[in-house]
Amino acid sequence: MSAAVLLIAAPSSGSGKTTITAGLAWLYRRQGKRVKVFKCGPDFLDPLLLGFASGAPVDNLDLWLVGEDLCRQMLAEAARDYDVVLIESVMGLFDGEPSTADLAVKFGLPVLAVIDAGAMAQTFGALAFGLAHYRADLPFYGVLANKVAGERHAQMLQEACPAAQWQGWVGRGEPLPERHLGIVQPHEVADLPARLDQLADMLASQPIAQLPAPTALSALAAAPIPPLLAGRRIAVAQDAAFCFIYPANLACLRALGAEVVTFSPLAHEALPACDAVWLPGGYPELHAQALAAHPSIAADLAAHLAVGRPIWAECGGMLALAEALTLSDGQEQPMWGLLPAQGQMQTRLAALGAQQIDLGSGALRGHTFHYSTLQTTLTPEGYATPCRLGSSGEAVYRHGYLRASYLHVWFAANPVGTAALFGAQV
C-alpha cells in the first residue's frame, strides 16, 4: 500500500504548522485527491481544523501514547484508502521523547519543515541545513518559508538554501483566533473556507503543490479486540462543551462490541438509555451557565449511578459534575453536583504532559492539559505516573460508580482496561 506522504514539522511551536497543513489539505482536496491527516501527539483542537480542511476524521500518531503497532496500522490503512497522507508534527521536529523525528525515521515519512522566516534572511539557510542534517537517518524532503514579506524576501530565502530543498513560500496571513487551550473550533470562524481558499491559492503556485513520490506503508494484521462490551450501550456527551474526543476512542469502544450513542448536554438533550456514560473533556467553562440550566441531566446521571451503572469523566467532564465551578472572572457557577468537589479556572496552565495509570486492568495511557484546579475531600483511588520528572501525577477519583480525572485516556492502547472503565468484568 502506498500514498503520497508528507510530515509537516517545524523548528518550534508557533511556526505555522497547523495552518500550512490545513492549507495543503485544502489544496490537494481541491485537486480532487482523497486526503487523510494525522496529528502527532495528544491534541484535540488542531484535528478539528485539519478534519474540516481534509474532509475526513483526524487520528493521532504517537509512539508512546498510541504505540508503534497501532501507528503502523493506521498509516497503512490511510495509504490504502487515501491518495495523500499529511501528518502534522507536535512542537519542534526533534522535541520530546519520542519525538516527531523518531516517528519519521521509524516509518520512513518524508519531512517538510515549515520555518517562520518573518524576521530572518540568509539565516534561513542555516536553519534549514541544521534541520536536514541533525539526524543522518531523517528522510528530509524540503523546507517551506512562512510569513514571508514578499517576492524579494522570498528570493533571499530561496538563495540561502539548497535548490533541492526549496518547496516555496507563503506570505503573512491573519492568524486564526485562539483561546487558553489553543485555536478556536472551526464553527467559530465564519470565513474559514475563504481563508483556506486564500492559503491554498498561495500554495498552488509553489513547488509543494506537486506531491512527493508515493511512500510504501504496510502493517501486520492487527490482533483482534475481545468483545468485552458486547451488548452494552455507551452514551457519549459530544458538543461544543464536550469536544475533546479522539476518533480512535470511539472506534475502540465499537471494536469492543459497544453500541455508541452521542448526546448534547449543551442542547439540553436528556441522557439516552445506556449502560455506561463517557463525559469527555472540552470547554464547560465557556458554557457553564447553559450546562447548569439543563433541566434533567443531574437527575438523569444520578439515577444512572443509583442502579450501579458507571460514568467515566475526563477533565472538563469532571468539572461539569462538580458542585460548583469558579470561572476566570471570579463568578461561581453551580454545576451538576454529582461529584463532591469545586473547580477553579485560572489564567495559567495547571498541568501538561503524558501520564499513565493502572486501576487494576493494566496501564491506561493518556495526557493532561488544563487551566483549572479541583478541590475535593475525596481520597484518590490512585495517581497517574508522569513521563517526565518534576511534574505531578493526576489523581483518579472514585465516588460510587463514578470515576473522574484530569487524565485524557487513549482507549486503544489498553482495550481491556478501557472495557473495565465502562463496567465490563475483566
**Cis peptide bond upstream of 98, omega within 30:** yes
The x, y and z cell numbers of residue 172, run together, are 503573512
Rounded to whole angstroms, how far apart are CA atoms 267 and 354? Answer: 32
* Straight-line distance from the first to the last Cα atom of the chain, in angstroms, rounded to the nearest whole number: 36
Of the candidates 281, 185, 191, the residue with the CA atom closest to the CA atom of residue 242: 281
DSSP state of 281: B
DSSP state of 62: -
Residue 255 phi/psi, 5-degree rounding, is -65, -30
Q: What DSSP string describes 137-166? A: T--EEEEEEEEE--HHHHHHHHHHS-GGGE
Determine whether 418 is exposed, middle or buried from the number of CB atoms within 10 Å of its CB (0-12, 13-18, 19+).
buried
Rounded to whole angstroms, how far apart are CA atoms 6 and 12? Answer: 18
Instruction: State how far Cα 151 lies from the chain centre.
Output: 35
DSSP state of 171: E
Rounded to whole angstroms, how far apart are CA atoms 59 and 37? Answer: 7
Alpha helices in 307-410, H assignment, sequence order: 316-321
**Which residue type sits at 308?**
G
The x, y and z cell numbers of residue 19, run together, are 495552518
Q: Is 315 a catalytic residue?
A: yes
Helix (H, G, I), strand (E, B) or coil at 338: coil
The x, y and z cell numbers of residue 313, run together, are 469523566
Rounded to whole angstroms, how far apart are CA atoms 337 and 279? Answer: 14
Q: For 185-338, where are the E strands, in sequence order?
A: 215-216, 233-237, 259-263, 276-279, 311-314, 322-326, 332-334
Determine whether 116 is exposed, middle or buried from the number of CB atoms within 10 Å of its CB (0-12, 13-18, 19+).
buried
Residue 75 phi/psi, 5-degree rounding, is -65, -40
Catalytic residue among 71, 161, 315, 387: 315
Q: Would you please indicate which residues are annotated as catalytic (active-site) residues?
A: 315
